[in-house]
A = this chain, B = another copy of it.
Amino acid sequence: MAKVFDAAEVAKHNTAESCWVILYGDVYDVTGFLPEHPGGSNVILKLGGRDATEEFDPIHPSGTLAELDPSCKLGRVDPATLVAPAVEEASAKREQEGPIDVQTLLNLDEFEEVATKKISQKAWAYYYSASDDLFSKSFNNQVYRQILLRPRVFVDCTNCDTSTTILGHKVGLPLFVAPAAMARLAHPDGEHGIAQGVSSFGALQIISNNASQKPEEIVANSAPGQIFGWQIYIQNDRKKSIAMLKRINALPSIKFIVLTLDAPVPGKREHDERVGSLGKGLDAISDGTGEKRESKGGVGKTLFFGTATDLTWKTTLGWLKEHTDLPIVLKGVQTHEDAYLAMQFAPQLKAIILSNHGGRALDTAPPAVHTLLEIRKYCPEVFGRIEVWVDGGIKRGTDVVKALCLGAKAVGVGRAALFGLGAGGKEGVERTFEILKGEIETCMKLLGADKVSDLGPKYINSRAVERDIYDGHAGLEKVGLWVSAKL
């Protein structure tokens, strides 16, 4: 029978020398695990001696505790000795706000508004935040407003088919769920709820490397033909990444690996960090080792702990080839030069995602629309050799259609899926995609285009954006030479 501890006894073990935590009523000695924690030791130390369940649960896939050495589990805590835990903020808010009929919500902004009220401040700060002054986050959307549509009339628009193929797989919508982390911060349905929510639309989902559920859980019960990608952040400790790849290779509904490149180090997301410094984030305590800045981060910075920063075209793609046969999709391309380079790694590399990480990496980085237009201008052959996907700033079906007209093969939504989840769990995601599909159909019909492959630049006027596109400083820079030099 398990030993029973008094909470006061546990509370004494809150140092790097002896660190205990309570999880789901069990007492663990995690002293030996501290240096191995992917999120850094400080995150745990801060919770040392306390009931960490509320912090731990929404961001760790089930089974995480099973990875601990069994000897770590010391026994049970005596529940009577625990002070009543603060009611979990998010579920409290959810109750207080009362039920929302997500069917009455008409657009993605309304979803964000509702979700903002329902989810915890920590979750909101993590999802909402972007780097520095949120310029790129905001510009990602505004740039779509600068593009005008060109509706053709007197065209039979009775039928309209939003389906397309992505990497050769048939999908119901040209949309994908971008690999956003920590879905259970928004709602207990988590990433699996997203998967269920998009399944009836045949939409593709990319599972975050930092998902709060295990990939095996997320893809469980998916619809026939429903497909997934899996995002990898390669770890400094490569063997962890190799182990994960092995698990992914074994999941047949996961069709490709997404390697995210636009955030080798975290951007400066002040909304997220501010919650961290208020003691509400997944914060770490300064441990006096001189890593002072690291200790102040919010959720975002914590997640980057241990991520490799030394990736390069040849070595990393070669290493990946050793550990998976799945096609590779590069996420985070922001210049035509890198698109051009990527093309040369086909066919291992099958697609790129033009992305500035939702404005969360480098502020004032260009929106995907700029990079699309750069590629059209300087190296349109890229579109013929690999697929070009985009994400960032999508609020309307017209935004999706504009990206497709510019040559995108698929369009990602990140925050929209999370806010949909936060507002109404699986049903919220479903309604979010229903809205997007409806808006895409209306747009296509009013343009006079009855299938996705019809869409092209003739349906848009992007001149107001084109004049801002990088032009090699009027030819003063030798773009071509630099491309090869960087390879």
Contacts and interface: CB of A to CB of B under 8 A. Distances in A.
Contacts of A268: 106, 438-439, 442
A446 to B, nearest CB: 4
Chain A: interface residue count, which band? 35 or more
A208 interface: no
A92 to B, nearest CB: 27
A396 interface: yes
Interface in A140-157: 144-145, 147-157
Contact of A457 (B439, B443, B476): B476
A316 to B, nearest CB: 7
Contact of A265 (B266, B311, B330, B442): B442
A363 interface: yes
A464 interface: yes
Given A104-B277, A156-B310, A264-B445, A149 B463 contact: no
Interface in A245-274: 261-268, 270, 273-274
Interface stretch (A29-37, A66-74, A76-84, A334-342): A334-342
A132 interface: yes
A291 interface: no
A151 B337 contact: no
B133 A396 contact: yes
24 contacts: A103-B296, A106-B277, A133-B396, A150-B335, A150-B365, A151-B334, A153-B262, A153-B264, A153-B333, A153-B334, A154-B261, A154-B313, A157-B310, A264-B446, A265-B446, A266-B442, A293-B434, A362-B442, A363-B398, A376-B473, A462-B473, A463-B467, A463-B469, A463-B471
A259 to B, nearest CB: 9
A480 to B, nearest CB: 11
A383 interface: no
Interface in A338-365: 338, 341, 356, 361-365
Nearest to A107: B270
Contact of A106 (B153, B156, B270): B270
A289 interface: no
A130 to B, nearest CB: 13
A366 interface: yes
Nearest to A236: B158
A322 interface: no
Contact of A468 (B150, B266, B463): B463
A241 B466 CA distance: 45
A477 interface: yes
A90 interface: no
Contacts of A464: 468
A155 B132 CA distance: 22
Contacts of A107: 132, 270
Contact of A149 (B154, B365, B479): B365
A150 B265 contact: no
B445 A150 contact: no
A193 to B, nearest CB: 21
A457 B155 CA distance: 33
A462 B469 CA distance: 9
A364 B262 contact: no
Contact of A274 (B106, B461, B482): B106
Contacts of A476: 376, 457
Interface string A454-487: 0001100111101111110110110100100010
A204 B262 CA distance: 33
Contacts of A468: 461, 463-464
A447 interface: yes
